[in-house]
Amino acid sequence: MWLFALAYLGGVLTIVSPCILPVLPFVFARADQPFSRSGLPLLGGMALMFAVVASLAAVGGNWVVEANQYGRWLALALMALFALALMSPRLATVLSRPLVRLGGRLSQTAHPDDRPRPGTSFLLGIATGLLWAPCAGPILGLILTGAALQGASLDTTLLLLAYAAGATTSLAVALSIGGKVFAIMKRSLGLGEWIRRGLGAAMLVAVGAIALGLDTTVLTQASLASTDTIEQALIDRFGGYRRAVGSLVAGASGGHLVAGAVVAGSPPARPADPPLPDEGAMPPLAGVVQWLNSPLLTTQGLRGKVVLVDFWTYSCINCLRTLPYVEAWAKKYRAAGLVIIGVHSPEFAFERDVGNVRQAITRLGVDYPVAIDNNYAVWRAFGNEYWPADYFIDARGRIRYHHFGEGDYAQSERVIQQLLRAAGAKNVPGGLVDARGTGVLQAPDMAAVESPETYVGYDRAQRFSSGAQVPDRAQAYGVSPGLPLNGWGLSGTWTVGGQRAVLDGAPGRIVFQFHA
């Protein structure tokens, strides 16, 4: 039951998310009507449609995405009709003729004395649900990822419904307050007609924003009023949540699931790179729905090349911040034999639309091969769990290095140079790129961050405060009070490896004294 409570709380927090802005005019257009007959059925229809569409889109394939796109355009037309009717009673009377009588009924301006009808409000809510694309905080991201990877289930649909119920609860509170404010303004200031026209204009602006795709690009990437910290704290409080929804993600950040820290700068150059481990053979690239910027690529056909496989999605803010470096590496090392493959594994329905991806890579200037991984075939083959995630493959087809999340770009580029030299490439470019992005590609301001990237494996562990790490065997650790800044420790029985630490049995925790 607490899983549904957590999903519900994640939905409640969407009221302060920028992605809720496009649907607010549709909701507040009914603020002056009785809640039980207008607001409640509208919000109920919105919640139900969101849960149904999100469930189907996560597991149902491309036909669901295409059907949803047609539904969104139909809903946009209906909302535009409603907005025009709000702005002009005379136009509403014209629009209430047979072929478009539905728009006139929804607007209620053609029959101002009629009581609001729950059925029309519910239909308006369904249309709003088709248009709503919430920002993916950690909680929603985990639900959708679990649905995509595990397939359809009643639990997933109920979790999405709980999330939508949380969102509509916060909207109901806002609608109740807004209705009272509108009523006062009508009675005391005589502004009822102007309020109605203003809401109609706001709805037209929202329709335009959604039609232009701003709800799934600009707003999903905005950091205004981010709830990620609160959501992450809730997930950490209920530690079994990830396992329950079928995601093995170790951390979540920003618009999508991310592992690895975001660091302010790159570490200084080392005298020599350590030997790179062999992490296994590069999995096949079978199951790709479509290739963009390239004909079909195969693992066998890439032998002799150094390959960087980059898992990303085009609306993931953390992925976008890595793009300036990935694009710079593609240009700098292409002649030396580097092949970069962007594996686009979607999280949302709109990210499954190949046309949307094609527009995004054109807008972002991505000119290297992009594999459309709508069925998560490549994702599963690599055993990947994160956005963004980079896998570095040598000329023999062996994975030699990986990096999850943003940052550590200098080390990643050194690995590229090392693998190219090992492959026999001549005149491998030296130096390190400094790819500073702008706009949504710009890295966050890290001036106030005083805690560096921290590793738990003994290969690169620093500032460990639980005594000496015992390599590769179970050991009981403890944490003393009063950790210094950037100090960290383990509590419980852990097996510490070169690149990871595994809890051998509950209870256990990681304690980190950080400043960010």
Position 420 confidence tier, pLDDT thresholds 50, 70, 90? very high
Gap between the Cα atoms of 143 and 146, Å rounded: 5
Gap between the Cα atoms of 471 and 462, Å rounded: 15
Position 52 confidence tier, pLDDT thresholds 50, 70, 90? confident
Residues 6 or more apart whose CB falls under 8 angstroms from that of 467 comprise 477, 478
pLDDT at 113: 47
Spell out the domain ranges in the chain: 2-221, 290-441, 450-516
pLDDT at 355: 92
Fold of 450-516: Jelly Rolls (2.60.120)
Position 212 confidence tier, pLDDT thresholds 50, 70, 90? low
Instruction: Look at residue 259 and tell me whether its pLDDT is greater than 50.
Output: no
Tell me how crowded residue 365 is: count the other CB atoms within 10 A of its CB: 10
Poorest-confidence range of 13-17, 169-173, 289-293?
Answer: 13-17
- Residue 434 or 441, more confident: 434
Mean pLDDT of 435-442: 67
Instruction: Look at residue 282 and tell me whether its pLDDT is greater than 80.
Output: yes
Statement: the pTM of the whole predicted model exceeds 0.75: no
Q: What is the DSSP letter of 272?
A: S
Residue that has been written with the tokens 């049995």 in this structure: 505
pLDDT at 366: 95
Q: CA-based Rg of the chain, rounded to a whole angstrom? A: 26
The predicted-structure confidence for 368-394, as pLDDT tens digits, reads as follows: 999 999 999 999 999 998 889 999 999
Residues 6 or more apart whose CB falls under 8 angstroms from that of 71 comprise 53, 130
Gap between the Cα atoms of 462 and 452, Å rounded: 10
Position 510 confidence tier, pLDDT thresholds 50, 70, 90? very high
Convert 487-515 into a string of H (helix), E (strand) and C (coil). CEEEEEEEEECCCCEEEEEEEEEEEECCC
Q: Is the peptide bond before 429 cis (omega within 30 degrees of 0)?
A: no
- Residue 14 or 423, more confident: 423
Instruction: Look at residue 501 and tell me whether its pLDDT is greater than 50.
Output: yes
- Residue 140 or 320, more confident: 320
- Residue 43 or 106, more confident: 43
Q: Would you tell me which CATH number, out of the four given (1.10.3720.10, 3.40.30.10, 3.40.220.10, 3.90.79.10), belongs to the domain 290-441? A: 3.40.30.10
User: Which alpha helices (H) appear in 386-512, and where do they start and end?
Assistant: 409-422
pLDDT at 184: 56
pLDDT at 127: 73
Tell me how crowded residue 226 is: count the other CB atoms within 10 A of its CB: 18
Gap between the Cα atoms of 495 and 507, Å rounded: 14
pLDDT at 96: 45
Mean pLDDT of 260-282: 60
pLDDT at 174: 76
Average pLDDT over the chain, rounded to an integer: 73
The predicted-structure confidence for 147-181, as pLDDT tens digits, reads as follows: 555 555 677 677 778 878 888 887 788 777 766 65
Strand order in the sheet with 338-344: 290-292, 370-372, 338-344, 306-312, 389-393, 399-404
- Separation in Å, CA 433 to CA 205, 286, 390, 438: 41, 32, 17, 16
pLDDT at 322: 92
Kindly write down the DSSP assignment for every residue of 388-452, as one continuous string: SEEEEE-TTSBEEEEEESS--HHHHHHHHHHHHHHTT-SS---S-------GGGSPP--TT----
Gap between the Cα atoms of 345 and 372, Å rounded: 7
Tokens of 59: 């597991």
Q: Report helix, strand or coil for 342.
A: strand
pLDDT at 232: 57
Instruction: Look at residue 137 and tell me whether its pLDDT is greater than 60.
Output: no
Mean pLDDT of 337-351: 90
- Residue 358 or 79, more confident: 358
Instruction: Look at residue 54 and tell me whether its pLDDT is greater than 70.
Output: no
The predicted-structure confidence for 116-130, as pLDDT tens digits, reads as follows: 567 777 877 787 776
Residues 6 or more apart whose CB falls under 8 angstroms from that of 445 comprise none
